[in-house]
A = this chain, B = another copy of it.
Amino acid sequence: MRVLSERDFPYSSVKMLASARSAGSEVTFEGETYVVEELTEDSFDGEDIALFSAGGSISKKYGPIAVERGCFVVDNSSAFRMTEGVPLVIPEVNPEAMAHMKVGGKAGIIANPNCSTIIALMAVTPIHRAVGVERMVVSTYQAASGAGALAMKELEQQTREVVNDGECKTMEIFKWQYAFNLFSHNAPMMENGYNEEEMKMVKETRKIWNFNDVNITATCIRVPVMRAHAESINLTLKNPLDEVKAKELLSKAEGVSIIDDRANNRFPTPLDATDNDDVYVGRIRQDISQPGNKGLDLFVCGDQIKKGAALNAVQCAELLLK
């Protein structure tokens, strides 16, 4: 709702939908008070666009129903991301994937990519378009917010316990201490030893770029930071690119800001990105381990809640109006 407001999203009417449990509560949006309604099959009649953010099972059930009733769905869950025919869209990266969709036309679902994928591709796509990316090695530094509001609260609570009482007592969301610690991402582990978060980066990148030949490996780690993700990204390039040109490309990229001040050792941090729209890029440098200017290193930070989720979804909805 804050992003809709900030971007002055046009609307004639708004509905707030939730489960029966939350129905009846009140929500204020742009000076008006709305009573939250229970989500039913009829909720979408006469609506143009629905922004879904209630988890995969709700999306799976109600997404197709909304479309049947003529309502576009921008879905923030992973339910339809890899479904054929469902565009997976970062508006700055692949708006063409939803060029055939427009409010007034035949409704459909648009999937919002995973936060880590969005944040990485905002920085890497301009380079890919220019010289081709053959391989990516990504290590993430992911914030608590990706695990939900309760995880953020638990991190704060644990931290308070450690600094005030010298001992971490509250361990409800995670089975181990998060305060002053870090751990492999809590997404379910897959057969190949990658977790789902890591495999999302691999599969979603290929779909978004419409390019199956990119090889990706990722190691996703949760760090005791509140709401912006960081990523250390190493690229193997098809054609040479020097760091000066890489910086130039990134400086022209929409939605990307550069913080890359070597003299003052000042590069992006999660706090720079917190509550901001742009993805911040720094440590842009020639990878000395790959000769002939065929490698680049980057360090990227982006707000997980904004560009990693809500902002990207609202931008997709904006594309439906264009």
Measuring CB to CB, which residues of chain A are less than 8 angstroms from any residue of chain B?
A: 135-137, 139, 141, 156, 159-160, 163-164, 176-177, 180-184, 186, 188-189, 192-195, 202, 215-217, 219, 221, 223-226, 230, 232, 234, 243, 262-263, 265, 267, 269-271, 282-290, 295, 297, 299
Number of copies: 2
CB neighbours of A141 from chain B (8 A):
141, 182, 221, 223
Q: Which listed residue, B195, B225, B297, touches A217 by the CB 8 Å rule?
A: B297
CB neighbours of A295 from chain B (8 A):
217
CB distance from A227 to the nearest CB of B (A): 9
Q: Which listed residue, B176, B177, B232, B267, touches A183 by the CB 8 Å rule?
A: B267
- Given A141-B141, A163-B160, A234-B137, A289-B216 contact (CB < 8 Å): yes
Q: Are B182 and A269 in contact (CB under 8 A)?
A: yes
Complex-state Cα separation, A189 to B266, whole angstroms = 10
Complex-state Cα separation, A265 to B172, whole angstroms = 16
Q: Are B230 and A182 in contact (CB under 8 A)?
A: yes
- Given A163-B156, A299-B219, A135-B267 contact (CB < 8 Å): no
| Shortest beta-carbon contacts, A-B, top 8 | A193-B285, A139-B139, A215-B289, A139-B232, A217-B289, A184-B267, A219-B232, A160-B163
- Given A189-B265, A202-B288, A283-B184 contact (CB < 8 Å): yes
CB neighbours of A156 from chain B (8 A):
163
CB neighbours of A226 from chain B (8 A):
180
Complex-state Cα separation, A258 to B312, whole angstroms = 40
Complex-state Cα separation, A137 to B287, whole angstroms = 10
Nearest to A295 among chain B residues (CB) is: B217
- Given A141-B182, A224-B225, A217-B234 contact (CB < 8 Å): yes
Complex-state Cα separation, A184 to B232, whole angstroms = 10
Q: Are A265 and B184 in contact (CB under 8 A)?
A: yes
What are 21 sample pairs from A and B whose C-beta atoms fall under 8 A apart?
A: A137-B289, A139-B139, A141-B182, A141-B221, A156-B163, A164-B164, A177-B271, A180-B225, A181-B225, A182-B225, A184-B283, A192-B288, A193-B286, A194-B285, A215-B288, A217-B234, A217-B287, A219-B232, A223-B223, A223-B224, A224-B224
Q: Are B219 and A182 in contact (CB under 8 A)?
A: no
Complex-state Cα separation, A202 to B290, whole angstroms = 13
Q: Are B217 and A136 in contact (CB under 8 A)?
A: no
Complex-state Cα separation, A262 to B141, whole angstroms = 20
Q: Which listed residue, B186, B215, B230, B283, touches A265 by the CB 8 Å rule?
A: B186
Q: Are B186 and A283 in contact (CB under 8 A)?
A: no
